[in-house]
């Protein structure tokens, strides 16, 4: 089967080329992953400090009276869904959108604010009339100012009674090999969610608030929201890059397997061809 | 002289983490200083200079706003950005 041999060689060659590409993409994702993971990790001390601060603030004064702590009577629930612009990252987007779908189906009134091209395409197809806003081309690179205007917009929407509450749906980065989509309350603040221990709750520290409790709340809370949104974006990017790295790693392995088994088939076919040829020659010689 | 522990954290880095004698900073209603054993305080800061005193040494840095929290001789300064700080910066 000489033509079969040629076809096999071609396939092996093309698979090896594919492997080179997936390998390169894996390395690109790994480099991006290191970068965004660094940003994400470096932000955690700031965020945990400010969380602790809010937790204590919530105890020490009449925090319940602040508008950002109160569930608004009017408006609908808004889900802010974080997805990626690009594909080739395994089940990354599918997992997030599965969770978003479940939430949206459970709350028929709720609107969705979608980030990332993959998510937008999905929402346009399935929940067209529920999209409140869409943002694409985030670029996968992190910049400080990126989330600031977004935060103001969400906060204003909440304060103006457009949204009764705002929730985030994003991939929680656990390790390079794992991320899990989660739903998290963004606004209003849930004072209990700020990790204050029980003994602290019983005897709250009596803070002096300078210049006034209102000013402290008005300064600290928006700052926290900005940081929270930024780190959520960082987490989305990090998870995206790690998913993409894993997907490309698997693709490279598959190429290896495929190329191995095809090489085996090629060698067998080649030997079979040689054997047939020798038999023909020998039997030809015997016939003489 | 009694010292207290001060941590300065920006959004991206912990830039300062050691014991200091006193700290002066720009509150919204004027500059104020804290020493060890200050009562618990949370303050909003505006743009301006902060003076960190360790022993008899004073260092001045510029911040662009932030918050100050202190409780039980552990103080945290959360700032948007800080100039002139070269300590422990771990940029790549």
The verdict on a CB contact (< 8 Å) between B29 and A223 is no
Q: Would the CB atoms of B9 and A220 count as touching at under 8 Å?
A: no
Per-residue DSSP letter, A133: E
Contact A43 B43 (CB under 8 A): no
Each of the 288 residues of chain A gets a pLDDT tens digit; together they read 555 888 999 999 999 999 999 999 999 999 999 999 988 888 888 888 888 888 888 776 666 678 888 877 788 999 999 999 988 888 899 999 999 999 999 999 899 999 999 999 999 999 999 999 888 887 656 676 678 888 888 999 998 889 999 999 999 998 888 889 999 988 888 777 776 666 666 777 788 888 888 888 888 888 899 889 989 999 999 999 999 999 999 999 999 999 999 999 999 999 999 999 999 999 999 988
B21/A contact by beta carbon, under 8 A = no
Nearest-neighbour CA in chain B from A114: distance (Å): 25
Question: Are the C-beta atoms of residues A183 and A167 closer than 8 Å to each other?
Answer: yes
Contact B46, B79 (CB under 8 A): no
pLDDT at A71: 78
Q: Is B81 an interface residue toward A (CB < 8 Å)?
A: no
**Contacts A–B by Cβ distance under 8 A:** 71
Domain boundaries, chain A: 27-245
| Distance, CA of A43 to chain centre | 17
User: A27-245: which CATH topology?
Assistant: Pyruvate Kinase; Chain: A, domain 1 (3.40.1380)
| Cα–Cα dist B37/B22, whole Å | 11
In 3D, which of A179, A155, A166 has the Cα closest to residue A80?
A166
Per-residue pLDDT tens over the stretch B16-29? 999 999 999 999 88
From chain A, pick out residues whose CB is under 8 angstroms from the CB of B71. Answer: 205, 207
Contact status, residue B16 vs residue B87, Cβ threshold 8 Å: yes
H helices of A135-212, in order, are: 148-159, 198-202
What pTM, to 2 d.p., does this model score?
0.84
pLDDT at residue A266 in the model: 93
Distance in angstroms (rounded) separating the CA atoms of residues A116 and A104: 18
CA–CA separation, A194 and A205 (whole Å): 15
Specify the 3-state DSSP secondary structure of A206.
Answer: coil
Distance in Å from the first CA to the final CA of chain B: 37
Q: Cα(B36)–Cα(B33) distance, rounded to whole angstroms?
A: 10
What are the chain B neighbours of A210 within 8 Å (beta carbons)?
27-29, 32, 41-44
Closest Cβ–Cβ partner in A46, A206, A219 for B11: A46
What are the beta bridge partners of residue A16?
none
| Token couple for B68 | 């100050």
The predicted pLDDT at position B86 comes to 57
Q: Given this model, what pLDDT does residue A62 score?
A: 64
> B8 with B77: CB under 8 angstroms?
yes
Which of B32, B41, B44 is best to mutate for the A interface (most A CBs within 10 A)? B44
């Amino acid at each position: 089967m000489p033509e079969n041999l040629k076809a096999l060689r071609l396939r092996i060659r093309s698979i090896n080329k594919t492997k080179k590409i997936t390998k390169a993409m894996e390395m690109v994702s790994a480099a991006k992953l290191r970068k965004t993971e660094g940003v994400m990790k470096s932000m955690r001390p700031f965020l945990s400090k400010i969380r602790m601060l809010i937790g204590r603030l919530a105890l020490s004064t009449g925090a319940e009276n602040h508008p950002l702590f109160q569930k608004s009577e009017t408006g609908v629930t808004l889900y802010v869904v974080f997805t990626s612009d690009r594909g080739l990252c395994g089940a990354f987007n599918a997992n997030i959108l599965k969770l978003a779908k479940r939430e949206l189906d459970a709350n028929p009134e709720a609107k969705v604010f979608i980030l990332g091209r993959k998510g937008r395409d999905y929402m346009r197809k399935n929940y067209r009339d529920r999209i409140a806003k869409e943002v694409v081309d985030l670029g996968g690179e992190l910049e400080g100012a990126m989330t600031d205007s977004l935060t103001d917009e969400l906060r204003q929407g909440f304060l103006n009674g457009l949204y009764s509450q705002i929730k985030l749906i994003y991939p929680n980065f656990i390790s390079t090999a794992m991320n899990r989509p989660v739903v998290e309350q963004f606004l209003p603040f849930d004072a209990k969610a700020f990790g204050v221990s029980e003994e602290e709750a019983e005897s709250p520290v009596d803070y002096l608030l300078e210049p006034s409790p209102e000013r402290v709340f008005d300064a600290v809370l928006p700052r926290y929201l900005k940081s929270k949104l930024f780190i959520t974006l960082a987490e989305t990017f990090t998870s995206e890059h790690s998913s993409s790295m894993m997907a490309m790693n698997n693709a490279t392995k598959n190429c290896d397997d495929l190329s191995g088994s095809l090489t085996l088939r090629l060698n067998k076919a080649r030997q079979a061809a040689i054997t047939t040829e020798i038999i023909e020659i020998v039997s030809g010689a015997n016939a003489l | 002289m009694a010292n207290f522990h001060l941590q300065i954290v920006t959004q991206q880095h912990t830039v300062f983490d050691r014991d200091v004698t006193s700290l002066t900073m720009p509150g919204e209603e004027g500059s104020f200083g804290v020493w060890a054993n200050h009562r618990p305080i949370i303050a909003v800061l505006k743009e301006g200079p902060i003076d960190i005193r360790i022993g008899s040494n004073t260092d001045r840095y510029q911040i662009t706003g932030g918050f100050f929290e202190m409780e039980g001789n552990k103080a945290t300064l959360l700032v948007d950005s800080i100039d002139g700080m070269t300590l422990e910066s771990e940029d790549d």
